[in-house]
Amino acid sequence: MAYAAFRSIGAYAPLDILTNEDLSKMVDTTDEWITKRTGIKERHIAAKDETTSDMGVKAAKKAIERSGIALEDIDMVVCATISPDYFCMPSTATIISNKLGLRNVTAFDISAACTGFVYVLSIAKAFIESGMKKNILIIGAEKLSAITDYSDRGTCILFGDGAGAAIISATDNKDEAIIDVHTGADGEYADLLMTPNGGSGSAHDSLDQEASSCFMQMKGNETFKVAVRTLTKDVVEILKENNIESEAIKHFVPHQANYRIIKAVGDALKLKDEQVVLTVAKYGNTSGASIPMAINDIYEDGLLKSGELMLLDAFGGGLTWGSALVPFSPLK
């Protein structure tokens, strides 16, 4: 039987930075207010002509280079994004594949919002364990600034841009294998976090309605409550099902949405501060890119070593959620 191994990580953050102080000049807010409620201090913003696929390519190139796997041996590309280059078609994954010089590979996008990277991880694991693919490039990439209303202080303080990527490869060594991935969804809560954007489910009577629907809309308080409850339940379950104690987790890598959510889940698991990976202060919420960007930070800081166990945990619009137990297994 083939197993799926998490071989490498890469990420990219745009050069331009939007600070809390910058936002205080745009909407009625302050650095103190944003920091206290979210833990965010700044977020990276893509250039006007910089697309989601551009950022995905830069992250992917790092992941490929670090993997030790030849470009031509990659046989599938999956991209998680809610801010694709084109909302209908073609998929951002096909554009990334073309920019990388990959031809004749399976390539498609998935939409699971902030849980996107965990979802594409589960897809890669399934394709590899079935024997259908051997080396899969998974990407979480977002240009959320393109769908953020910068007159809405409830959302504009939260979101940033960036991309993260990983190579998932087949191995016959069970010790290297991704242990488990949980994913779930409940459409009953779809209206808590959404971008109406004029799809077939939200026809518009005016241009003003059409324009406003292109931006993210969120019911903050309700989303916070459901997020804490759902994330805590999911990570407790995945640890219990795999007979793993929280002490065995070297790196807890949650979706970087809000420091208070991360703190609540970490406390529920009785994790130590050194186990919890935090990047929300400098990137904000980058949706599907947030988990791989956080993994990349600890990798580049020399804190992620071969064989160390990561617990990934995410929650997003849909509502969707997911968790994963992932050893870091670079090629020797």
As annotated, the active-site residues are 114, 255, 285
Tokens of 249: 């987790």
HSE at residue 257, side-chain half, CA atoms within 13 A, is 26
Work out the widest C-alpha separation in the chain, in whole angstroms.
59
Q: How far apart are CA 130 and CA 109, in angstroms?
A: 20
Tokens of 185: 């969804």
Phi, psi of 138 (to 5 degrees): -110, 140
Tokens of 225: 């409550």
Element spanning 164, H or E: strand 161-171
Pairing of the two strands 42-45 and 3-12: unpaired
Give CA torsion, residues 97, 120, 55, 92, to 10 deg. 50
